Amino acid sequence: MTGVTGMTQVASAGGTSDAVPSLWTIAAAGDKLQAPSIEYGKLSPVLIVLGAAAVGVLIDAFAPRKARYSAQLFVALAGLAAAFAAVIGLAASGAGTTKAQIAGMGALAVDGPTLFLQGTLLLVGIVGVFTFAERRLEPAGRGGRVDSFAAQPAAVPGGEGEQQAVKAGWTTTEVFPLLLFAVGGMLLFPAANDLLTLFIALEVFSLPLYLLCALARRRRLLSQEAAVKYFLLGAFSSAFLLFGTALLYGYAGTVNYSAIARVISGADAVSDPVLADTTGNDALLLIGGALVVMGLLFKVGAVPFHMWTPDVYQGAPTPVTGFMAAATKVAAFGALLRLLYVVLPGLRWDWRPVMWGVAILTMLGGAIVAITQTDIKRLLAYSSIAHAGFLLAGVIATSEDGISSVLFYLAAYSFVTLGAFAVVTLVRDAGGEATHLSKWAGLGRRSPLLAAVFAVFLLAFAGIPLTSGFAGKFAVFKAAAEGGAGALVVVGVIASAIAAFFYLRVIVLMFFSEPQADGPSVAVPSVMTTSAIALGVVVTVVLGVAPQYFLDLAGQAGVFVR
Amino acid sequence: MIGLLVGVPLLGAAVLLCGGRRLDRTGHWLGTLLAAVSFAIGAALFASMLGEDAESRAMHSKLFSWVPVEGFQADVAFQLDQLSMTFVLLITGVGTLIHLYSVGYMEHDPGRRRFFGYLNLFLAAMLLLVLADNYLLLYVGWEGVGLASYLLIGFWQHKPTAATAAKKAFIVNRVGDAGLAIAIFLMFTTFGTFAFAPVLSSAGDASEGQLTAIGLMLLLAACGKSAQVPLQSWLGDAMEGPTPVSALIHAATMVTAGVYLITRSGAIFNGAPDAQLVVVVVGAVTLLFGAIVGCAKDDIKKALAGSTMSQIGYMILAAGLGPIGYAFAIMHLVTHGFFKAGLFLGAGSVMHGMNDEVDMRRYGGLRKYMPVTFVTFGLGYLAIIGFPGLSGFFSKDQIIEAAFAKGGTEGWILGAVTLLGAAITAYYMTRVMLMTFFGEERWRQAPTPSPAEPDVEPAAETRGEHAEPHPHESPKVMTIPMIVLAFGSVFAGGIFKAGDSFVNWLEPVTAFEHGHSPVSATTVTAATVVSLVIGVGAAWFQYGRKPVPVVAPRGNLLTRAARRDLLQDDFNHVVLVSGGTHLTRSLVYVDHKVVDGAVNGTAATFGGLSGRLRRLQNGFARSYAVSMFGGAAVLIAATLLMRAV
């Protein structure tokens, strides 16, 4: 990535050369090549997490099978916690506000939104590790307790190899480094300050997620199908992103965010003669910008790029679903915000109407299709699509309030999501998790506490006051209305009303229906899942009852460095 | 200090109601003591008030800011002026006596502690009502009185009649409460405030239409609490409560609230002659209505209830006369407070001695058995009929005079009505007196099962009991309050009248004008006495000369109608209940068909849409990719189109 920025610098500096710049010409102009300067301190959260991930790979390669689980758990938690401490330290030193800067030779922006989202992502990662590490739900094998991941992913589902691996009590401890890599990519994603870094970060966090999706211990075929679908469609969307990047480079002669923005606004002219035919071509800009945005809309699960969501959410192991649903949304919205606010503000009048349409379709589409879902994981998937629509309404506000409201919403939403999926892991019958809604009937009579906790999460999803969902939705809609998107808010409220129906339907089902005779039982989790759920409830209630401090925090973090 | 007036009985209510069984043995004395303390505070304030000049007697004390919103300021603040002071002394004074009486009356009742808690609550609410310095706080007291009356009327809730009566009182009162609420809304939109001082001082700035609207709504409120036509129906049934409650409701609290409200809002009514006219008409109609009902009732408490309605009618009428009548309305209110409390306590004493029998046709000749009750009741009787020299004479005579002074045809009509009312009052009160204390001892006759008489009010449950009552005088704790009240019945009017002291006392608050009656004061007095004699004479002819039949005769059409409270319940049932039933039925129909239809239709629409959209999710990655591709194409096209237009 640094190579490319260096290339453009060289190209613009050595404008006399007619040849297309390549690594060879750069190497030839050796004296002009600057050694990249890396602000290790500013990038420390990312470096720590990726470092921990590398350590995790080594552990899996060399540590004895028995010791892997605890070692991985320790490394993952320590790495994430240390990275979180680094984020706090950076924020305390003013890196988010007064000392916000572009780091890594223009590749990464370390500013308020970056730090806020990185902090959120790291907390989500920690809670994700808790749910990944839960080993009390599955019946213990001969080799000890096992988690929700496949005993031996490479074995054919239902084949002999799998049976032996299950009998041997093997577990896939690789999930921890995979999660760390994903988190590392996600930390980079909202911080990316040029299009290539964006793409690489996307791949860094997407590939581990594809793998993780395939690792379910039960219903492995469904899980593998989900992973393949996710991978295929993800690759397709990556192609969009990459193609858009190329077109934007053709337009601006650079992939750097602020440089593109300057070209769009006319502050800088592109002097590269190689690009003389394409620069300033608005079609390139519009199509390229649209393609890049679409690549991101795929990740947030916006209509019409949402169709992978229900299948993948349903098929993936539930801890992965929870982590992915929360963290991907945070990272992708962060990147989308930066792209739209830093690169394309000059095109506001072009992309806003289109985004209006996408937001309306996403809100209504998610809410309406969720009505007829019968599987709790698919229901939550469509719910996440509707929430992506609400978040888009905040994005469209194109104001500082828009940024901070989206940041707040993301923080609030991710903990509700993690908690809700963690609850889903606990409701089990003989076939594993009992995700069909009919099995949840009367859950409130058998396990009132668990049902009450889930009801809290559902109320937060529905945006009922005194939950974080209300505060977040209110902030987003307020920003959107003040940003001139009043009609969007009306649609959003209608979609919320539709969504309230299916959330409340689950509550009614849990509390006011007769339990089934062969209904599921509620597993007693270890302290891991318990703390994940408890944290979700606490965050939901605290952000709902006293949101002001956190709104202020998000408000301070609402400025992008350019 | 003013806050304590309300706070002490409120504390009593809280302690008694929350205190639990351990207060069962002492609770009634605690309640009585706190009522007395409140009276003592009132008396002390009264003494200090007398030390001031007439103009600077009003006291004001702000407790705290209740609703501090820009443009909407409501304080919990009290205003104690001469008008409030009068009410405070009446409420706490008579209230304390009734507490004391109840100690004896409720001696064997298992719920006595609760009863005293409610009594204290009643006092507190009523005091809040008369002490508030704004209409919003007054409304709190107003509702508190409604609540306490509900609790007390339905105190014996195991009796279905009592429970029904309580509900009836509550519901009818709600109608009036709605009027008060609307009046407050109108005040706020008209004046931007609802505190007494600014509203009343700027009443002149508002248009007559606005004032009339406010006045009529206040009148509706007053009709509810004071049992005036058309909201009078609850009062008779309210007799289901223990007798001290009836005394409290009828003498010291509750029914006087409407008179207070109209007098307090005098400035509004003064600017709205039409509203005043309606007030006067309501008063006059109720005056006759109550009196006629009172003539026909055989239940001693219901006869007295009709009398209360009628006497409050006098007060409302006087209050509707404007500055020539306010002071007399209040004066009659106070004297009425004495003698009506005395009469009710006397009636309770009679019932106490007669196994809770309430049918006067089963009384008779009781003067020998309960002399104290006889004398105190008799003095109350003389006072209420306006026997010259007693309280009622002075206050009622003034109202009749003021009615004539209204002037014009109205004046003559009102004067005639009030005189007629005085005659009927004399008639029915004499009837009560004769049937109860004179004549044969009809209770000795073996109670024959009465032939089915649908017109006759079902009397007390005890009718079926064949045990012969043994009339006896009530204990001292009951007779002493009666004696004290009898003194008030005899002397209060004369003291108030002497040197116009009462009128002068109230004048700074209510303003006073001397009415110019077309007939001289002497003539009015003479006419009053004549009508009194006619009423007493007629009653004596009917009930004194010949024996009273134990079973009520069928009576003429008017009598039968009057026994049914002049068909008030039938009217309400036909017009309001069936009308309301039809309205709600049609609303339910609309709700089912239109509202639910719309809701269910919307739900079905979205459900169907959902089912259809869901099919797009077919599980094939290839079709997902196609939809992504198509979506991308559309979005790009849209983006380019945006630029093109």
Cβ contact A305:A297 at 8 Å: yes
pLDDT at B478 over 60: yes
**pLDDT of B463:** 43
d(CA A315, CA A338): 31
Instruction: Please give the structure tokens belonging to residue A112.
Output: 């308020």
Nearest CA in chain B to A351: B639
Q: How close does chain A come to B584, measured CA to CA in Å?
A: 29
The DSSP secondary structure of B519-575, one letter per residue, reads S-HHHHHHHHHHHHHHHHHHHIIIIISSPPPSSPP---HHHHHHHTGGGHHHHIIII
**pLDDT of A529:** 93
Which range has the worst mean pLDDT, A1-10, B57-66, B272-281?
A1-10
Residue with more model confidence, B52 or B427? B427
Instruction: Please give the structure tokens belonging to residue A213.
Output: 């999706």
A290 inside 8 A of chain B by CB = yes
Q: How close does chain B come to A489, measured CA to CA in Å?
A: 19
**pLDDT of A63:** 92
Q: How close does chain A come to B639, measured CA to CA in Å?
A: 6
Cβ contact A306:A391 at 8 Å: no
Model confidence band, residue A86 (pLDDT cutoffs 50, 70, 90): very high
Domain boundaries, chain A: 40-556
Looking from the CA of A548 toward its CB, the CA atoms found within 13 Å total 1
> Within 10 Å of residue B508's Cβ, how many Cβ atoms?
17
Q: Which of A286, A308, A370 sits opposite B640 (nearest CB)?
A: A286
Tell me which of A354, A355, A362, A377 to substitute to probe the interface with B (most B C-beta atoms closer than 10 Å). A354
Cβ contact A43:A115 at 8 Å: no
User: Helix crossing, A220-252 with A195-213: angle to 10°?
Assistant: 170
Q: How close does chain A come to B591, measured CA to CA in Å?
A: 20
The answer to whether the CB atoms of A287 and B635 lie below 8 A apart is no
pLDDT at B420 over 70: yes
CB pairs under 8 A between A and B: 83
d(CA B360, CA B436): 6
Q: Taking chain B, what is the end-to-end CA distance rounded to the nearest angstrom?
A: 77
Model confidence band, residue A207 (pLDDT cutoffs 50, 70, 90): very high
Instruction: Please give the structure tokens belonging to residue A449.
Output: 């506490």
DSSP A340: I
In terms of pTM, does the model score above 0.80? no
Residue type, A36: P
Q: Which of B614, B619, B643 sits opposite A372 (nearest CB)?
A: B614
The answer to whether the CB atoms of A286 and B631 lie below 8 A apart is no
**pLDDT of A26:** 58
DSSP A30: G
Cβ contact B161:B121 at 8 Å: no
Cβ contact B136:B199 at 8 Å: no
- Give the mean model confidence (pLDDT) for residues B288-295: 89
Task: Select the highest-mean-pLDDT range: A105-109, A531-535, B402-406, B583-587.
Answer: A531-535
- Give the mean model confidence (pLDDT) for residues A89-95: 90
DSSP B467: P
Nearest CA in chain A to B625: A233
pLDDT at A308 over 80: yes
Would you put residue B547 in left (φ > 0), alpha (ψ -120 to 50) or beta?
beta
The answer to whether the CB atoms of A371 and B607 lie below 8 A apart is yes
The answer to whether the CB atoms of B628 and A369 lie below 8 A apart is no
User: Which residue, A411, A425, A434, A398, is CA-closest to A509?
Assistant: A434
The DSSP secondary structure of A462-476, one letter per residue, reads HT-TTSHHHHHHHHH
- Give the mean model confidence (pLDDT) for residues B85-114: 89
pLDDT tens digits for B114-153?
899 999 999 999 999 999 999 999 999 999 999 999 999 9
A491 inside 8 A of chain B by CB = no
DSSP B451: P
**pLDDT of B282:** 93
- Give the mean model confidence (pLDDT) for residues A308-316: 94
**Which of chain A's residues have a Cβ under 8 Å away from the Cβ of B642?**
349-350, 353-354
- Give the mean model confidence (pLDDT) for residues B358-384: 87
Cβ contact B474:B353 at 8 Å: yes
d(CA B22, CA B26): 8
The answer to whether the CB atoms of B617 and A236 lie below 8 A apart is no
d(CA B151, CA B162): 10
Cβ contact B316:B279 at 8 Å: yes
**pLDDT of B294:** 87
Listed in sequence order, the residues at least 6 apart from A118 whose beta carbon sits closer than 8 Å to its beta carbon are: A45, A46, A83, A87, A187, A190, A191
d(CA B413, CA A556): 79
Whether the ω angle into residue A45 lies within 30 degrees of 0, i.e. cis, is: no
Q: Which of A229, A286, A308 sits opposite B643 (nearest CB)?
A: A286
d(CA B373, CA B390): 18
pLDDT at A493 over 50: yes
The answer to whether the CB atoms of B636 and A287 lie below 8 A apart is yes
d(CA A174, CA A178): 6
The answer to whether the CB atoms of A305 and B630 lie below 8 A apart is no
Main-chain phi, psi angles of A194, to 5 degrees: -140, 160
d(CA B133, CA B61): 9
Nearest CA in chain B to A288: B636
The answer to whether the CB atoms of B632 and A240 lie below 8 A apart is yes
**Which of chain B's residues have a Cβ under 8 Å away from the Cβ of A349?**
642
pLDDT at B455 over 60: no
DSSP A108: E
Q: What is the ipTM of this complex?
A: 0.88
CA distances to A245, A290, A371, A392, B337 from A358, in Å: 21, 12, 20, 8, 76
